[in-house]
Amino acid sequence: MNPIDHNVASEEIEKFSALAHGWWDEHGEFRPLHQLNPHRLQWIRDHVDLQGKSVVDIGCGGGILSESMAAVGAKVTGIDLAEASLQVARLHALDAQLDIDYRLVSAERYAQEVPAQFDVVTCMEMLEHVPDPASILQASASLVRPGGWIFLSTLNRNAKAYLFAILGAEYVMRLLPKGTHDFAKFLQPSELAAMGRRCGLETADIAGLEFQPFSQQFRITQDPSVNYLMALRRPPA
């Protein structure tokens, strides 16, 4: 594999490829992503008006976030390294009559091909699945134009996150298949912010995403102790 495409764990791609048929099953394996999507979309829109903006969605999977951004007027490119997911994403976008450009390309390679082309970069629930998240941050910093936004989400690394995201979600509530997440790959907000700073990005906002077991709903909070969102900005030129 070309070194520019090194930052991928093949077992992760196989895991997501095996589940790809279920991306749009709102009651299936990806139910939590469907449940949290309206909240993360709203959080993005609280920071930037997506109408007419060019967006690259890194690790787009079946396009849950990509489609929702396209539906509110963004020009979306979705990239992922699982072809099976991209095929599902393309078919679903056709059905939904949304014009989204889905591509099988690594973030690092795409950043070399089209630097500083995007108003917005999104990369959600993906950093905890790659060997070198800092390299994704670097690619994101290259893809976004000066003054543009980067929106990330991932899982915090602490005892509570272990309890909720692994024991709770995978074993007790069965919200996610066992083995979905590897605790060692979770990232503390300070670590993510530091990675961003090393690429010249400023941290603009952090929020928590909390799952409420009784209502089976997510909500945005001020507490990033388990799932969280981070907004970063590339300073204007």
Kindly write out the interface string for residues 19-48 of this chain, putting x where it contacts ligand SAH by CB under 6 A and - elsewhere: --------------x---------------
Q: What is the rounded CA–CA span in Å between residue 71 and residue 55?
A: 12
Residue 153's DSSP bridge partners are: 124, 229
Segment lying near ligand SAH (by CB under 6 A), choices 74-82, 142-150, 181-189, 217-225: 74-82
Q: At what angle do helices 189-198 and 133-143 cross, to 10 degrees?
A: 50
Exactly one of 68, 76, 80, 181 binds ligand SAH (CB under 6 A); that residue is: 80
Report the residue from 70, 100, 130, 152 that binds ligand SAH according to the rule CB under 6 A.
130
Given 41, 50, 56, 64, the residue binding ligand SAH (CB under 6 A): 64
The phi, psi pair for 77, rounded to 5°, reads -110, 130
Choosing from 69, 70, 76, 82, the residue that interacts with ligand SAH (CB under 6 A) is 82
**Toward ligand SAH, which CB reaches closer, 219 or 235?**
219
Select from 24, 56, 59, 206 the one that contacts ligand SAH (CB under 6 A): 59
| Structure tokens given for 23 | 């991306």
**Phi, psi values for residue 67, rounded to 5°:** -60, -40
Q: In the set 50, 56, 81, 206, which binds ligand SAH (CB under 6 A)?
A: 81
Q: How many CB atoms lie within 10 A of CB 26?
A: 11
**Of 119-127, 171-179, 195-203, 216-224: span binding ligand SAH (CB under 6 A):** 119-127
Q: Which of residues 169-208 bind ligand SAH (CB under 6 A)?
A: none
With residue 153 as reference, give the H or E element that holds it.
Answer: strand 144-155
- Are the CB atoms for 181 and 165 separated by under 8 Å? yes
Q: Sheet containing 217-221: which strands, arranged edge to edge?
A: 101-104, 75-80, 54-58, 118-124, 144-155, 227-233, 202-212, 217-221
Site residues, ligand SAH (CB under 6 A):
7-8, 12-13, 16, 33, 59-61, 64-65, 80-82, 85, 106, 124-126, 129-130
